[in-house]
Amino acid sequence: MNIFDYLNINGHVTIHKLLGDGTEELIYDDHNVIVSGMGVGLASFFGVSGSTSILDYQIDRFQIGVSGSEAREISSTNSLSGPLSSSFEYTGEDGELFPLSANQIKGTFDGNISWYAAIPAHNVTKIGDSSVRYTITIDKDSCNNLRAATTYLNEVGLFMKNPLNTSPIPSPILVAYKYFSPIRKTSDFALVLRWTLNF
C-alpha cells in the first residue's frame, strides 16, 4: 500500500470544449494520478522541514504538454514528458493565461527554468469537507502556437508552488498528472478542465 492509498488521496479530471455560443462539449472524463511530489509536499508541511509559509503549499499552477503517455500515469512521475516551453506557447499574441517561470523539482535540481500557467485563486473551490476543485480555462487564443501544425495537447499536471522554500526562484513540484486523448487546440474553442482532488 502506498501513502496515497493510506491517506485516500485521489482525483478526477473532466475536459470540455467551450464553443463560441457558450455550450460545453464533454471530451474527456477520467481519474488522475497522484504522484510522489504530493508526498514530498505533505511530508515537508507536516514535518516542518520545508517552507514556513502556507502559501508555498498551495496548488497554484499547471503545465500542459504534448508528449504524454499512459506509461507516465504512475506515482513516480515527476515531470511532464513535453511541457510547453515558453510564454508564447501558452498565450500566443492574445491569450488570457498568466504564464509563470520557475525552477522545478524533478528529484534533483537541474537549474533549468520551466514554464507554467497560473490557476487564479477564484478558480479554486472547496467542495464539501475534503475535496477541492481546480478549474483551468484555456481560452480560445491560448495554447494554439505550438511547435508544429501536427502538435496535439495530451498531458496536464498540477503543481504545488514551493514546498521546499527555495529562493530567490521558487521550485514547484508536480503533485498530480493526467494523460488524455490528444486535442488539437485552435482558436475555434476554449478548453475547460475541472480537476477535483479528494483528501
The x, y and z cell numbers of residue 199, run together, are: 483528501
| Mean pLDDT within 123-128 | 94
Helices (H), 84-123: 87-91
Task: Read off φ and ψ for residue 129, nearest 5 degrees.
Answer: -85, -20
The x, y and z cell numbers of residue 149, run together, are: 501544425
Residue 111 has what pLDDT? Answer: 67
Segment holding 136, helix H or strand E: strand 131-138
Q: Does residue 140 belong to any structural domain of this protein? A: yes
Please state the domain count of the chain: 1
Q: Which domain holds residue 110?
A: 11-198
The x, y and z cell numbers of residue 124, run together, are: 479554486
Q: Does residue 26 belong to any structural domain of this protein? A: yes
Residue 35 has what pLDDT? Answer: 94
Q: Does residue 3 belong to any structural domain of this protein? A: no
Query: How far is it, in rounded angstroms, from Cα 123 to Cα 165?
Result: 24
Q: Does residue 5 belong to any structural domain of this protein? A: no
Percentage of the chain exceeding pLDDT 70: 93
The x, y and z cell numbers of residue 194, run together, are: 475541472
Segment holding 37, helix H or strand E: helix 36-46
Residue 1 has what pLDDT? Answer: 46
